[in-house]
Amino acid sequence: MNNPTFSRTTLAPMGLALLLAGCAHAAPQAPAAGAAATAGTPATAWDDARQLVLVTTPDADATQGQMRTYEREGAGWRAVGDAIPVTVGRSGIAWGLGLHPAQPGLQKREGDGRAPAGAFHIGTVFGYAPSAATALPYAAMTATHWCVDVNGSPFYNRIVDSRVVGEAAVKDSTEPMRRDLHADGDQRYRLGFVIENNPDAVAGAGSCIFAHLWKAPGESTAGCTAMASPAMDRLTGWLRPEAHPVFVQLTVADADRLRGAWHLPARKD
């Protein structure tokens, strides 16, 4: 199916499917004038970003970390707000597929319980309510929306509506998008957004990766990045599509290693 990416639309034509880039992407845009890094530093695929969400964890096996937000200021970044506690996968993080070049080390796989490390486009905001206070595209989920996490499915790493694709297409998926209706009132997907990992839906490389609400403070996830409700409200209200926001998630050591090449903000301890 030639559906647009989930980050660029709320519903695909005729409501057929919402294509994830990862919780599956258009080719990266050229860097905006004046947004490139300092002279002599290679450009990245996200140099056009004017908003940055940066999550760091103590190490690859840690299940908790800190999220900071930044806005472009000249050739650098200006911090916006305070650091926010977040949780990641129950097994930590591993390199995902996104905007960044391939990296050495543990690679994310379906069902590994790790959140993706790397740099990613931020996709559509989704939730239980008919609308949300966000400038990003918003998709209201219903009881028939599912994210398909089944290897081999033509809808792998996509949010689909079973009324359109058929019940058989979501039969083995474990990701209902209305968890409140399918999982005893669970509020974790009441508000969240797509982290565009694995945009080409490579089988086994991870699916249905979101930023969403945590179930309880400090409780890890199956591979997403979770936070408290006030933090999510602030984040989705702050993000702007014209700023080409990027989500970067790294261990502290990898953030230090890649700070120059990836044009990241100075370290804050």
- d(CA 67, CA 57) in angstroms, rounded, equals 9
Start-end of H helices in 83-146: none
- pLDDT 10s digits, 6-31: 433 233 333 445 544 333 333 333 33
Amino acid at residue number 261: A
Instruction: Give the residue-averaged pLDDT of 225-246.
Output: 98
pLDDT in tens, 41-65: 689 999 999 999 999 999 999 999 9
Query: Which residues, listed in sequence order, are joined to residue 64 by a DSSP beta bridge?
Result: 87
* Residue 118, SS3 per DSSP: strand
* Beta-bridge partners for 140: 127
**pLDDT the model gives residue 112:** 98
Partnered with residue 142 across adjacent β-strands are none
Is the pLDDT confidence value at 182 over 50?
A: yes
Name the phi and psi angles at 179, rounded to 5: -65, -25
Using alpha carbons, select from 88, 96, 89 the residue that is nearest to residue 119: 96
Using alpha carbons only, give the angle 86, 92, 96 rounded to the nearest 5 degrees. 100
Q: What pLDDT does 267 receive?
A: 87
Residues in the chain: 269
Q: Is 140 helix (H, G, I), strand (E, B) or coil?
A: strand
Give the pLDDT confidence of 74-125 residue by residue, as tens digits: 989 999 999 999 999 999 999 999 999 999 999 999 999 999 999 999 999 9
> DSSP 3-state assignment of 163?
helix
